[in-house]
Amino acid sequence: SQQGEEDPQALSIQEGENATMNCSYKTSINNLQWYRQNSGRGLVHLILIRSNEREKHSGRLRVTLDTSKKSSSLLITASRAADTASYFCATDAADSNYQLIWGAGTKLIIKP
Amino acid sequence: NAGVTQTPKFQVLKTGQSMTLQCAQDMNHEYMSWYRQDPGMGLRLIHYSVGAGITDQGEVPNGYNVSRSTTEDFPLRLLSAAPSQTSVYFCASSYSRSLPYTGELFFGEGSRLTVL
């Protein structure tokens, strides 16, 4: 069963612009993670935000978490061609034995 | 610093054949897992292990077996391949060994399997 759902499914922007992706989930969580996947490669962990945190930064990445709306957003500022990838959110949930549940991802294309 | 290593990277099987996907990690992680990734869907957990000698089923375990005889290795066996098992398979490991099993996951590069 899918817990997280990313929005939009695909996003195409110009290099230098900011990219925002959203993730919604259904049940209460302990934490939410974001991962990046370059084409044909494995997933790489970007950032983890705990349920008692509202915002977290890592370099050009900013993640917010709104537990009342059961949603999170990932903002990439000053996008670069190298940011072209698929981005996935993953949440844990007590009713899934705390295993990570993954969304289907947002495909981000940065146009030069 | 190898991280998580998966072999083979590509494999074509005929229906009914069996094979083993290998996964090894050199980070002394207790937690290891296998996922499959299909187009338009999120990763789905097949099996996982929280230490040598301990394995458990995930969301989609049917048609797959695992074992964990050492901390480093976690092979995934397809018993009798079916076209529905055509997918990309990822092995992932984590330092997390207790609930919730949700520490940062380190992924291999994937094994692309086609079943004809």
**Amino acid at residue number B38:** D
Q: Average pLDDT, stretch B68-97?
A: 95
Contact residues, chain A, for B48 at CB < 8 Å: 99
Higher pLDDT, A65 or B96: A65
Cα B4 to its chain centre, rounded Å, is 11
Percentage of the residues of chain A whose pLDDT score is greater than 90:
78
Confidence category of residue A2, pLDDT binned at 50, 70, 90: very low
Least confidently predicted of A19-23, A44-48, A61-65, A94-98: A94-98
**Amino acid at residue number B71:** T
Q: Decide if B95 contacts B29 (C-beta within 8 A).
A: yes
Pick from A82, A87, A107, A99: which is nearest to A31 by CA?
A99
Contact residues, chain A, for B43 at CB < 8 Å: 43, 88, 90, 100, 102
Please, what is the end-to-end C-alpha distance for chain B in angstroms? Answer: 36
Confidence category of residue A96, pLDDT binned at 50, 70, 90: low
pLDDT, residue A30, reads: 86
Distance, in Å, from the CA atom of A5 to the CA atom of A68, rounded to the nearest integer, reads 16
Please say if the pLDDT value at position B1 is more than 90: no
Contact residues, chain A, for B99 at CB < 8 Å: 97-98
Number of A–B residue contacts, CB under 8 Å: 65
pLDDT, residue B97, reads: 66
- The answer to whether the peptide bond before residue B100 is cis (omega within 30 degrees of 0) is yes
The average confidence (pLDDT) of chain A is 91
Please say if the pLDDT value at position B102 is more than 80: no
B59 dihedral zone (left: phi>0; alpha: psi -120 to 50; beta): alpha
Chain A contact probe: residue of B102, B104, B105, B109 with most A CBs at under 10 A: B102
Please say if the pLDDT value at position A27 is more than 90: no
Model confidence over B23-81: pLDDT tens digits?
999 999 999 999 999 987 889 999 999 899 999 999 999 999 999 999 999 999 999 99
Confidence category of residue A100, pLDDT binned at 50, 70, 90: confident
- Contact of B108 with chain A, judged by CB distance below 8 Å, is answered with yes
Please say if the pLDDT value at position B83 is more than 60: yes
Q: What's the CA dihedral at A99, A104, A105, A109 to 10 degrees?
A: 160
Confidence category of residue A1, pLDDT binned at 50, 70, 90: very low
Q: Average pLDDT, stretch A27-40?
A: 92
* Residues A99, B45: C-beta atoms closer than 8 Å: yes
